[in-house]
């Protein structure tokens, strides 16, 4: 159940008129309670969905397919085979397809075909199973100073977010002070960068409702998919294809002086031999750094 209260208190005053700077009062009061929204919940059976004694087939693969496979498993059991799914990295899934080790799965869900070197001397068949896409999911609450232009949003959840390629590159390379232990103390590059995403002028130009955010408000970088996911390689290919993001990754500061950290391992980086353009441990081509 949700009791929406908007941006006004129960007495009609605005949220920013209170000392707390947010909506106050009980949601159980009559005027608020009558606007409640009820979401009926149902529960799935916890009974065994696959009969004991079914033939079993090992299935391994990408994290992006986990929810889909979980939904398919009960229906597939009715066909006489139980498909047990193990979520592993794309690289290991590809290796298991061609592995000669007993117990290795010969059935895997991958997001890119196997490299020619891995698939050599093997006949591999591919079949489309599901569609997926790379997305950036977020959950950020506004934490604004009292004089912020959008101060009425303080404490509310942000519903919209605009990111460009360079902002994603900054997050993946931990280029904000809040993204590293000690907030970059002793690191001259980080000390000249924005404290966090929500204080970066580039981000604020695209998301003006965050102007006036408190400096300790920040998503701590980006979490990436399990293992050396092919999805990570696609993200880095996108960043490298964008001239502004590529320049940042090559060490060129942005218009406000923020720069990439040299020599720091990167979230979700892929090896050169896996995607053809990323050197070991870094998604760029800088030499001697």
The DSSP output letter for 208 is: G
Could you read off the pLDDT of 132-182 as tens digits, one per residue? 788 898 988 899 999 999 999 998 999 999 999 999 999 998 888 888 888
Statement: residue 70 has pLDDT above 70? yes
Output the 3-class SS for 221-260: CCCCCCCCCHHHHHHHHHHHHCHHHHHHHCCCCCCCCCCC
Q: Identify the top-confidence range among 5-14, 160-169, 271-280.
A: 160-169
The whole-angstrom separation of Cα 7 and Cα 150 is 12
The owner of tokens 């592995």 is 99
Listed range (43-52, 92-101, 202-211, 231-240) with the worst mean pLDDT: 43-52
- Tell me how far apart the alpha carbons of residues 66 and 64 are, in angstroms, rounded to a whole number: 6
Span of 69-73, 152-156, 228-232 with lowest mean pLDDT? 228-232
In angstroms, the CA 268 to CA 225 distance is 7
Distance CA 196, CA 108 (A): 39
Average pLDDT over residues 57-78: 85
Q: Which tokens hold the place of 63?
A: 């994290």
216: DSSP letter: T
Question: Residue 212: exposed, middle, or buried by beta-carbon count in 10 A (0-12, 13-18, 19+)?
Answer: buried
């Amino acid at each position: 159940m949700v009791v929406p209260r908007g941006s006004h208190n129960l007495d009609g005053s605005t949220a920013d008129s209170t000392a707390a700077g947010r909506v106050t009062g009980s949601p159980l009061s009559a005027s608020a309670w009558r606007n409640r929204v009820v979401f009926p919940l149902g529960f799935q059976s916890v009974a065994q969905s696959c009969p004991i004694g079914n033939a079993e087939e090992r299935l391994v693969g990408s994290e992006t397919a986990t929810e889909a496979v979980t939904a398919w498993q009960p229906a597939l059991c009715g066909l006489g085979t139980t498909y047990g799914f193990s979520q592993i990295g794309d690289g290991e899934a590809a290796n298991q397809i061609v592995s000669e080790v007993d117990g290795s799965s010969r059935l895997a869900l991958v997001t890119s075909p196997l490299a020619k070197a891995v698939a050599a001397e093997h006949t591999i068949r591919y079949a489309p199973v599901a569609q997926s896409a790379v997305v950036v999911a977020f959950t950020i609450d506004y934490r604004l100073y009292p004089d912020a232009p959008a101060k009425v949003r303080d404490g509310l959840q942000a519903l919209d977010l605009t990111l460009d390629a360079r902002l994603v590159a900054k997050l993946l390379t931990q280029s904000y002070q809040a993204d590293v232990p000690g907030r970059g103390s002793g690191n001259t590059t980080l000390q000249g960068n924005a404290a966090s995403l929500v204080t970066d002028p580039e981000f604020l130009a695209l998301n003006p409702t965050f102007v006036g955010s408190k400096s300790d408000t920040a998503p701590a970088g980006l979490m990436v998919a399990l293992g050396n996911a092919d999805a990570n390689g696609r993200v880095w290919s996108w960043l490298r294809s964008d001239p502004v993001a590529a320049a940042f990754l090559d060490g060129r500061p942005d218009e406000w002086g923020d720069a990439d950290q040299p020599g720091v391992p990167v979230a979700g980086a892929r090896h050169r031999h896996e995607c053809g353009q990323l050197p070991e441990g870094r998604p760029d081509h800088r030499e001697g750094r």
